[in-house]
Amino acid sequence: MSGDSGLRRAQRRIGKSARERLRPVWPPVGTVRMGGLRRVEPISRHYGFDRGTPVDRHYIETFLRRHAGTPDYGVGDVRGRVLEVGNDTYSRRFGPASAQIDVLHVDTSNPAATVVGDLSSGEGLPAQTFDCVICTQTLHVIWDFAAAIRNLHGMLRPGGVLLATVPGITATCKPDRDLWGDYWRFTTLSFRRLLEETFPPAGVQVEAYGNVLAATAFLQGLAAQELAPGELAPRDPDYELLIAARARRAI
């Protein structure tokens, strides 16, 4: 009796699956008009910089603005002594005038660098020096990104905050690929797990930005200005274009 019941249940499941496959879809197959997106070459290979603000940069700025201590959000994380990896664009834009800003670069080729050090090896990195470290779109071009996270943590003072972003969906990153490599893409799950290996889990907050339209626009090289705010704002967990995290070192 139980065997017959199991067989009937399996038959019902098979029948339901077949009906779902035969169910009409909307829009009907063959009627979608892709217009200017029906192309094998992107509209721009410059990530949107040549058209305005790249979509991923729009999300980076949204994330940093929330944590920066703007009038809308009160006292934030970008304060005290701040280190930014590569340049000081975001620390100066979102930090207060009272902030002491340093720039980290791997060698002396960057004239803006005040700290020359290697995130992978830790060589040249000062210990427990900064109240905030801003590291945007960097960890994916470092082979040993886990060591880089440990070294970012090591530069923070007790209670200091790391504000970091990594790509989820993106085209190949140039010129990084040709200079030192382009190795990784992340998800909210992988980035959270990596950060929690070094930072206290209670001090780690990870979020994703993006949706299918934003991801399509970004891959095509369209700028954020070419999408409406209502098209950029929705977050679809199936399309994690940008991953952003706030991680606080234990006091």
Angle at 164 between CA 163 and CA 169, to 5 degrees: 145
Percentage with pLDDT > 90 across the chain: 80
Q: What pLDDT score does 249 carry?
A: 97
Please enumerate in sequence order all residues whose Cβ is within 8 A of that of 123, keeping only pairs 6 or more positions apart, or say none: 117
Q: What pLDDT score does 4 carry?
A: 66
Q: What pLDDT score does 68 carry?
A: 85
The radius of gyration computed from the CA coordinates of the chain, to the nearest angstrom, equals 22
Tell me the residue range of the domain where 166 lies.
44-248
Residue 3 lies in a domain: no
Q: What is the average per-residue pLDDT within 155-176?
A: 97
Please enumerate in sequence order all residues whose Cβ is within 8 A of that of 244, keeping only pairs 6 or more positions apart, or say none: 59, 60, 63, 163, 164, 165, 206, 207, 208, 209
Closest CA to 235 of 209, 197, 203, 205: 209
Residue 19 lies in a domain: no
Residue 20 lies in a domain: no
Q: What is the average per-residue pLDDT within 149-174?
A: 97
Residue 24 lies in a domain: no
Residue 39 lies in a domain: no
Q: What pLDDT score does 13 carry?
A: 67
CATH assignment at residue 174: 3.40.50.150
Q: What pLDDT score does 30 carry?
A: 85
Residue 129 lies in a domain: yes
Q: What pLDDT score does 159 carry?
A: 96
Residue 123 lies in a domain: yes
pLDDT of 233 above 70: yes
Residue 15 lies in a domain: no
Q: What pLDDT score does 72 carry?
A: 47
Q: What pLDDT score does 2 carry?
A: 55
Counting every residue, how long is the chain? 251
Q: What pLDDT score does 209 carry?
A: 98
Distance in angstroms (rounded) separating the CA atoms of residues 106 and 129: 18
Q: Considering only residues 98 and 217, tell me which one the structure prediction assigns the higher pLDDT.
A: 217
Alpha helical stretches, state H, the chain: 2-22, 55-67, 89-94, 145-155, 176-179, 188-196, 212-220, 229-232
Closest CA to 240 of 206, 208, 203: 208
Structural domains in the chain (count): 1
Q: What pLDDT score does 100 carry?
A: 96
Q: What pLDDT score does 32 carry?
A: 86
For residue range 65-121, what is the model confidence (pLDDT) as tens digits? Answer: 999 865 444 458 999 999 999 999 999 999 988 899 999 999 999 999 999 999 999
- Letter string b/e over residues 144-158, b meaning 16 or more CB atoms within 10 A of that residue's CB: ebeebbbbbbebbbe
For residue range 13-58, what is the model confidence (pLDDT) as tens digits? Answer: 656 655 556 678 888 888 888 899 999 999 999 999 999 999 999 9
